[in-house]
Amino acid sequence: MKTTKYIVAALMSVALWTNAQTLDQNVTVEREFKPVIQDAGKISSVPQVMELNVQKSPAEYTDFNFPMAVGQNIHTLPAAELLHQRRRTPSGSFVRLGLGSELNNMLEFALPIINKPKTKLDLKVDHLATFGSKKHSVSNAALMFDQYFSKFDLYAGVGAGRESFNYYGNNFLADGNTEFSDFTKLLTGSAAAYDELNLVRVNRTAQLFTLDKLSKAPENDVFWRLNSYVGVRSLPGEEKLRYQAEVQYKAFDARNGLTENIIQTRAGFNNQNGKNRMGLDIEMSNMMYKSDVIAAVINVWNSYSVFSMNPYYSIERERFDMRLGVKSSFSFVHGKPFNPSPDINLEWRAIPKFLAVYGGVGGGYEVNTMDDMFRENRWLYSDLRIKDTYTPVNPYVGLKVKPIYNLLLDAYLSYSYIDNQYFFVNKDYKYDMASSTALGRPAENILFTNRFNVLYSSASHTKVGVRANYNIRNFINVQLKGAYNGWQVYETLMAWNKPKWEADLSTDLRLSRNLNVSANVFYEGKRYAKLGEGVAGMHVMNPKVDINLAASYSYLNWFTMFAKVNNLINNKYEEYYGYQVQGLNFMVGAAFSF
């Protein structure tokens, strides 16, 4: 649950995949227990690498980059997924256990089954959960294989995950302030009928619900995810032909909703052209949907496909890099059939190692799969299928300055025009005038539930972001990120659930060889929830302010203890309207390498 989000931060910081960044097993555990959880979606204003292959990797400030979009959501726990990256401890194996307040618990296990120079087979299992009043549990298992040849790498993997949670959020009457939990106790009576509002129709029409039927909606849900892939790629450092080809199958199954099956085929290559490089990336995504419920009462989308191609020409020099390309996406059945966007990037290192200027014009077509959308907001209505998003143009410009050896400053400005931008809103129902039960009171005319729908609008998004990083190797790392988001929407009143301001301050301090401490402060400004029409329906959600502290101590080469305190100021803000996060909570645990 969103509430656990800071258990996500806690758990994921403490447990997030093993990435041995130090020289011994002691530091391996403590370095991983950092509260800087960039993948959790807190704020992502760091430039992202424009790589020449299909897969993306974290930012490298000497590479060709552009500003990333700022994510407004913070997940309670990471959804089940299979990662392509390989993470190892020096010994190759470890187990990590944790237990905390609110029945928060975690388990992580890694084992290299085959660990030869040219053959790797890794097993990874992890579990993160909270079993208090706000229930959320995520369990994953994955096998990852690599076989290295003289000029290429053959890789494959399979993973499965289970996510379970409860709908613990509140429901509201028409005023948006009156909370209730049991529909049958409203004055209108359990037989009163309500019409479903704002349905984005696929196959079914809006339904009529009695309060008794609404009260019997499942209180829990379970998602199953499956991910398998196989591919081949050229080895890093290849000077001439660089390539990658991959086929991936993903399945998403919601117990109370739809089943989604996706087959993605990706291929990309680039080759030398004199001093420059010329390349092409292509991708075909095939989405298929089904449900055990008849189409008349659930939104089953037709199967459809999206084909994308991205030819480009890149120039790489000592003082500047340039990429000239165009992206074209063709959507069959749903949305616009042709969705072009530019792919132009430039970075000029005016004073190498001290000053660089970058900019460009991007854009793209985003397939909003159910798998992705239920990661972003697990409390969506069970059969909601969100339309794909198209950004025809996204110009940006930025400046990177390194005034002293250990300090990096990065600032940027970007603008996006977006078609079919979605905004989360509480799903609403209106009293049916033909109902056999009279309306009990005016406030019961509209009901807002703890499931979420989306509203669509054309939108423009202006973003100003800054980042500062100060690092003294093996001693201290401090990072400050901030962003201002200026939204303009055209078919709805507000950019619902989107904040104007975001900031993240994190630090990691190594006090001694065995003791590491870290802290994180996260801020997200006020947002607006939609519960009604016009200005009266705008409900302010309090800012998110969260402070986390952590420490780890390596007692032996193979044994590390850790502790973390989340939400130190006990700020019970809401992730989405009606869903309050956990207050002050803690976790303690230990990690063992073997």
- Return the pLDDT at 91: 56
pLDDT, tens only, 257-314? 889 999 999 999 999 998 899 999 999 999 998 876 655 455 667 789 999 999 999 9
Above 80 in pLDDT, residue 228? Answer: yes
Helix H or strand E encompassing 410: strand 407-431
pTM of the predicted model as reported, rounded to 2 decimal places: 0.83
Per this entry, what is the length of the chain?
594
Rounded to an integer, what distance in angstroms lies between the CA atom of residue 563 and that of residue 588? 4
Structural domains of the chain, with CATH: 2-593 (2.40.170.20)
Pick from 163, 285, 276, 173: which is nearest to 226 by CA? 163
Give the pLDDT mean for 464-479.
91
pLDDT band, residue 39 (cuts 50/70/90) = very low
Q: Compute the chain's Rg from CA coordinates.
A: 25
DSSP-assigned states of every residue in 334-387? SS-SEEEEEEEEEEEEEETTTEEEEEEEEEEEE---HHHHHHH-TTB-TT--PP
Spatial contact of 39 and 78, defined as CB atoms under 8 Å apart: yes
pLDDT, tens only, 113-142? 999 999 999 999 999 999 988 999 999 999
